[in-house]
Amino acid sequence: MAPPSEVDEAIEVLSRTPGLLERWLEGLSEPWLSAREGEGTYSPLDVVAHLTDNEDVDWMPRLELVLEHGESRPFTPFDREGFRRRFDGWPLERLLARFATTRRANLDRLEALALRAPDLDRTGMHPAFGRVTVRQLLAGWVVHDLTHVAQIARVLAKRYRDAVGPWREYMGVLGDREPERR
């Protein structure tokens, strides 16, 4: 069997994120779901709302924009606080279901494009970075999921930062950087 292509490999990870969040977070009590590292940072619930928001307008729509218009139409900047209005009051279960549906639809579109190596080299215009390739965009989508999975683990862990006592020095996650918000 041939090794997975770059696109297939990305889809492997992207397709699993909604399910892992569901198994991890559904049914967790409020102190866990609303834990935060500080004012203006994301709780685990916020992360899921952010991913749901992001899934509508960020990676896949941008990828399609590049394929259609190249560098002539820069991406619309993403509002990283937009989810707070859009999904205000949505419970976790509703967000997870919405995220899973949108992700599935996006991956169906991605698969239907049947991208080949030259497509991955095509370029678009990021509002802050300038020229970016489809290959970078696809990798960015994957790593964006993973950075937020790591963020949830870190935010949950930090509730017990003091509670672990001397184990603190063994627990790398407690020393991780302060929060990203993207």
Q: Report the interface residues with a second copy, using CB under 8 A.
A: 3-4, 9, 12-13, 16, 19-20, 22-24, 27-29, 31-32, 126, 129-130, 132-133, 135-136, 139-140, 142-144, 146-147, 149-151, 153-154, 156-157, 160, 163-167, 170-177, 179-180, 182
Give whichever of 39 and 170 is closer to a second copy, judged by the CB atom. 170
β-strand partners of 130: 126
> Residue 5 has which token pair?
């292509």
Give whichever of 29 and 88 is closer to a second copy, judged by the CB atom. 29
Least distance (Å) from a second copy to the CB of residue 19? Answer: 4
Least distance (Å) from a second copy to the CB of residue 84? Answer: 19
- Residue 89 main-chain phi, psi, to 5 deg: 80, -5
Q: State the virtual CA torsion across 121, 122, 127, 130 in degrees, nearest 10.
A: 60
**Residue 125 DSSP SS3:** strand
Least distance (Å) from a second copy to the CB of residue 179? Answer: 8
Give whichever of 88 and 128 is closer to a second copy, judged by the CB atom. 128
d(CA 134, CA 123) in angstroms, rounded, equals 6
Give whichever of 86 and 182 is closer to a second copy, judged by the CB atom. 182
What residues contact 124, with CB distance under 8 A and at least 6 apart? 62, 65, 66, 69, 70, 71, 73, 74, 75, 131, 132, 134, 137
How far is it between the farthest Cα atoms of the chain? 56
Q: State the virtual CA torsion across 78, 49, 65, 139 in degrees, nearest 10.
A: 90
Least distance (Å) from a second copy to the CB of residue 76? Answer: 16
Least distance (Å) from a second copy to the CB of residue 77? Answer: 12
Give whichever of 88 and 170 is closer to a second copy, judged by the CB atom. 170
